[in-house]
């Protein structure tokens, strides 16, 4: 529950009371007078420091620059007909993987043909 600050008009005493939003303090806790006024209590608000704000702006600018550079790189790659560097690397890796797979299969077939030459000939016919 919130704390409310009051000031008594009769005895000039300030006091705080904890009660719900719907409840109203009826009298002074010091003199029991009904002439009390709710006082607005000072409060503090936490704001972003100028250094933190500057860091946030720098980070946002770096993100925008990075995105812009990626777009420029793709644009130039399309103009030059080179293609995306990352996709070219992926294509080369897939080709290397396929070559390694084919080589391993050829070695396996060669090994089987040496150990079982007639079975291999029947499979190829």
If asked whether residues 78 and 88 sit together in one domain, one would say no
C-alpha–C-alpha distance, residues 51 and 59, integer Å: 12
Residue range 6-11: mean pLDDT, rounded: 92
If asked whether residues 122 and 105 sit together in one domain, one would say yes
The residue range of the domain holding 110 is 84-125
Q: What is the pLDDT at residue 9?
A: 93
If asked whether residues 50 and 76 sit together in one domain, one would say yes
If asked whether residues 91 and 123 sit together in one domain, one would say yes
Mean pLDDT of the chain: 76
> Is residue 79 scored above 70 in pLDDT?
no
Residue range 50-63: mean pLDDT, rounded: 77
If asked whether residues 51 and 74 sit together in one domain, one would say yes
Instruction: Indicate the pLDDT class of residue 7, thresholds 50, 70 and 90.
Output: very high
The predicted-structure confidence for 82-97, as pLDDT tens digits, reads as follows 655 666 677 677 777 7
Residue range 56-67: mean pLDDT, rounded: 78
If asked whether residues 61 and 27 sit together in one domain, one would say no
Q: What is the pLDDT at residue 107?
A: 79
If asked whether residues 123 and 94 sit together in one domain, one would say yes
* Segment (H or E) for 109: helix 85-115
Q: Could you give the number of structural domains in the chain? A: 3
If asked whether residues 91 and 125 sit together in one domain, one would say yes
Q: How far is CA 5 from the centre of its chain?
A: 42
Residue range 91-107: mean pLDDT, rounded: 76
If asked whether residues 94 and 125 sit together in one domain, one would say yes
CA distances from 5 to 22, 24, 37, 93, 117 (A): 15, 12, 9, 72, 101
Question: In this structure, are residues 11 and 24 in contact, taking their beta carbons and an 8 Å threshold?
Answer: no
If asked whether residues 28 and 51 sit together in one domain, one would say no
Q: What is the pLDDT at residue 36?
A: 92
Task: Give one DSSP letter per residue of 6-70, joined into a string.
Answer: EEETTT--EEEEE--SS----S-TTT--S-EEEEPPP-------HHHHHHHHHHHHHHHHHHHHH
Give the number of residues written for the chain: 125
Instruction: Please report the sign of the dihedral spanned by the C-alpha atoms of residue 96, residue 102, residue 106, residue 108.
Output: positive
């Amino acid at each position: 529950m919130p704390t409310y600050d009051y000031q008594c008009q009769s005895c000039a005493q300030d006091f705080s009371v904890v009660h719900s939003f719907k409840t109203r303090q009826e009298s002074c806790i010091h003199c029991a007078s009904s002439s009390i006024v709710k006082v607005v209590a000072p409060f503090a608000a936490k704001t972003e420091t100028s250094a933190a704000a500057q860091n946030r702006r720098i980070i946002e600018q770096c993100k925008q620059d990075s995105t812009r550079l990626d777009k420029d790189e793709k644009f130039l790659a399309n103009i030059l007909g080179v293609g995306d560097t990352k996709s070219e690397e992926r294509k080369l890796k897939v080709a290397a993987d396929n070559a390694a797979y084919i080589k391993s299969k050829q070695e396996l077939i060669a090994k089987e043909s040496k150990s079982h030459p007639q079975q291999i000939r029947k499979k190829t016919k």
